[in-house]
Amino acid sequence: MYYGGDYNPEQWPEHVWHDDVALMRRARVNLVTLGVFSWSSLRPAPGRWEFGWLDRVLDLLHDNGIQVNLATPTASPPPWFGRLHPDTLTVTADGARLTHGSRDTYCVSAPAYRDASRELASVLAERYGGHPALAMWHVHNEYGTWCHCDHVAGAFRRWLRARHGDLATLNERWTTAFWSQGYSDWEEIQPPRATQWLPNPSQALDFRRFLSDEMLAHFTEQRDLLRPTGRPVTTNFAFGSWVPVDHWKWAREVDLVAVDDYPTGDLAEESAFVADLARSWAGGKPWILMEQAAGVEYTPRRTLPRPPGDLARTTLIHVERGSIGAMFFQWRASRGGAEQWYHGMVPHAGPDTRTFREIAALGETLAALPPRPAPRPEVSVVWDDEAWWALQNRGLPSRDLDYLEAVKQPHRLLHRAGHHVAFVHPEHDLSPYRLVIVPSLLPISDAALANLAARRGAVLMSFFSAVTDEHLRVRLGGRLPAFGITIKEHRPLAEPLTLSDGTEASLWSEEIALEGAEAVVTYPDGSPALTRFGNTWYLSTRLTDKAYECLLTCLLRRSY
């Protein structure tokens, strides 16, 4: 079991490093993530490399039995780099070129940035690939930077040519006949920069897909330079609505799936959600909790301390679900800089603190933990990053549609009821599960539709699903033969309604024509709200947690 966190010794005088390793040993830390943001320390000026400090840190850690997850520092180019290559600085959707002074200010499509990234990876591989402290490689940090510059425009067009083949197909798939958006030349196509009014939703979705592939290419270029060292290569996934990463695709390319978990609200439920996603993305490969906060909760307005023992509780949620380690951001809280108020395993007040005592106790607990069998979930929930992105488009019939909540609701209810949950891609093998839940899966490919239709076990699909193809073109007619129904109309709700079983429906409703299915629960006007067709169920509205839990219990007990 790996235990440790991001370690940024370049922020501290060397005598502190000796305190660090002594404290790490006390806390049973055995892995640190080193060098995530150390580009300017490694290469302070264009022609100058400074390896001495890193050599000494690696040796010191090794002498103390601590392994290293060595990062390529490409997530934060130094000021000199942006000055030398201004075309590598991020451009926002409204055309502003950002400047250095923060982090993540790069354009993943800029040739100079890509060259520099490859150079950094190969220099590190050559110098440290054989170091005995090296356990794994950590490429970059939390991929997710959007850029809209001309380099991106060129790369986007190349990606679109490969995806759509010719312009006529692209025009058709993007429905560019609407609002006179027809393209007559590839050069006319732009990344979704600021527009006068609603942008084209298919273009917006394709741009996220492109960004995911483009960043993945940046990752695999570095991975392929690092792999010959024989150590696993990973990158830490961030989880947020802005992150254009298709996790299923990326998980195939990393040697080890790594996730960062910064829960808010019900921390145990949130952590279980992220851990179940990570385990599912890994698909049997190892996975690791790469970052979490040491003893605090970051809420939008304030950092809240967590009650004693809470840190161990959420960490064990990950471990129970198969994480091969528990890592934090960061080892020692920074004295200054933009994240000086972010917590550390060693807080500003030092080791004589509740946080450090809890960290050390957790180190003991993890070291003594016997291996646990991997959970074998009987229920799966469909997770599709593309559906999340599609429901973030503007111009939808309701602004209250929330993909994440639609997915989280059944997950948290199953978690509360003590079930383990797997997430699946809609085109994956669904046969291992007794029940497959498909929440608000707006776009669906023909292959995914056929996959669902071929399923013999129970399926519960919820509202605003399977409405469009993968290009966001509506599947006309609204027929869902596998569910024995046709959706005639979508009717978002302004106010909650009471259903025939006395429970409350909110957010959304649909007019459903029964074509073989039976109505199990109805709206006040007697029309179907929840339908059943053999083993397939369709829920056209949002239920309260209590009512949804009751439905899930019945489906799992097969008692309907």
Residues 236-265 close enough to bind ligand GLA by CB under 6 A: 260
Residue 291 a catalytic site member: yes
Residues 141-170 close enough to bind ligand GLA by CB under 6 A: 141-142
CA distance 167 to 161: 8
Candidates 289, 507, 288, 308; CA nearest to 397 is 507
**Per-residue b/e over 22-42, b at no fewer than 16 CB within 10 Å?**
ebbeebbbbbbbbbbbbbbbb
Q: Which residue in 213, 214, 291, 358 binds ligand GLA (CB under 6 A)?
A: 291
Question: Hunting for tokens 């920069």 — which residue is that?
Answer: 193
Q: Which residue in 131, 342, 473, 506 binds ligand GLA (CB under 6 A)?
A: 342
Q: Which of 291, 386, 510, 549 is catalytic?
A: 291
Q: Which residue in 39, 239, 329, 523 binds ligand GLA (CB under 6 A)?
A: 329
**Per-residue b/e over 499-510, b at no fewer than 16 CB within 10 Å?**
beeebebebbbb
CB of 399 to ligand GLA, least distance (A): 28
CA distance 88 to 343: 31
Which of the 8 DSSP states describes residue 508? -
| Nearer to ligand GLA among residue 202 and residue 330 (C-beta) | 330
| Nearer to ligand GLA among residue 237 and residue 464 (C-beta) | 237
Q: How far apart are the first and last CA of the chain?
A: 44
CB of 49 to ligand GLA, least distance (A): 23
**By CB under 6 A, is residue 510 in contact with ligand GLA?**
no
Residue 50 a catalytic site member: no
Give the torsion sign (CA, 360, 365, 369, 373): negative
Tokens at 513, concatenated: 């024509």
CB of 265 to ligand GLA, least distance (A): 17
| Nearer to ligand GLA among residue 173 and residue 343 (C-beta) | 343
Question: What element of type H or E holds 159?
Answer: helix 150-164
Q: Which residue in 339, 400, 405, 511 binds ligand GLA (CB under 6 A)?
A: 339
**By CB under 6 A, is residue 12 in contact with ligand GLA?**
no
| Nearer to ligand GLA among residue 150 and residue 339 (C-beta) | 339
| Strand-pair category, 67-72 with 518-522 | unpaired
The number of residues that bind ligand GLA (CB under 6 A) is 8
CB of 17 to ligand GLA, least distance (A): 20
CA distance 146 to 107: 8
Residues 122-141 close enough to bind ligand GLA by CB under 6 A: 141
CA distance 325 to 90: 34
**By CB under 6 A, is residue 297 in contact with ligand GLA?**
no
Q: Which of 142, 386, 470, 510 is catalytic?
A: 142
CB of 73 to ligand GLA, least distance (A): 12
| Nearer to ligand GLA among residue 211 and residue 294 (C-beta) | 294
Tokens at 109, concatenated: 């499509």
| Nearer to ligand GLA among residue 219 and residue 329 (C-beta) | 329
C-beta of residue 346 within 8 angstroms of C-beta of residue 333: yes
**By CB under 6 A, is residue 109 in contact with ligand GLA?**
no
C-beta of residue 391 within 8 angstroms of C-beta of residue 401: yes
Question: Around Cβ 213, how many Cβ atoms within 10 Å?
Answer: 18
By annotation, the residues acting in catalysis are 142, 291
Residues at the interface with ligand GLA (CB under 6 A): 141-142, 260, 291, 293, 329, 339, 342
